[in-house]
Amino acid sequence: MRAVVVWWDLKESAQTIESLRDFLRDEAVDRFSALPGLRLKFWVSDRENDRWGAVLLWESAEAAAAPLPNRAAELIGYPPTQRAFFDVEATAEGVFELARLAGRGLALEG
């Protein structure tokens, strides 16, 4: 398995966390839900530091190396400020009450 962490510093962009939430609702969640080999993607925001990002968990290094939709970079106006790739050493799932993780988060629940 392979993990990827991507961050944008939004200080130089016309986009905001709120406008990027619209992007998630309107297109990104559905688009990434159909990607082969993607086990999980969650988008994160840091309002205090005006940052936007995502964490992706892939089934394999080959799946992680496949070309991705780059609409976020197009909207933000520049490539990610930081992108890091990691080998996954282990995974675990805790005890939880939510039957389904998909469809959760501020952009989709608010």
For every residue of the chain, DSSP letters joined together read -EEEEEEEEGGGSS--HHHHHHHIIIIIHHHHHT-TTEEEEEEEEEGGGTEEEEEEEESSHHHHHS----HHHHHHTS--SEEEEEE---------S-S--TT-SHHHH-
Q: What is the pLDDT of residue 8?
A: 98
Count the Cβ atoms, other than its own, within 10 Å of residue 64: 19
- pLDDT for 20 equals 97
Residue ranges for the chain with pLDDT beneath 50: none
Task: Provide the pLDDT for residue 74.
Answer: 95
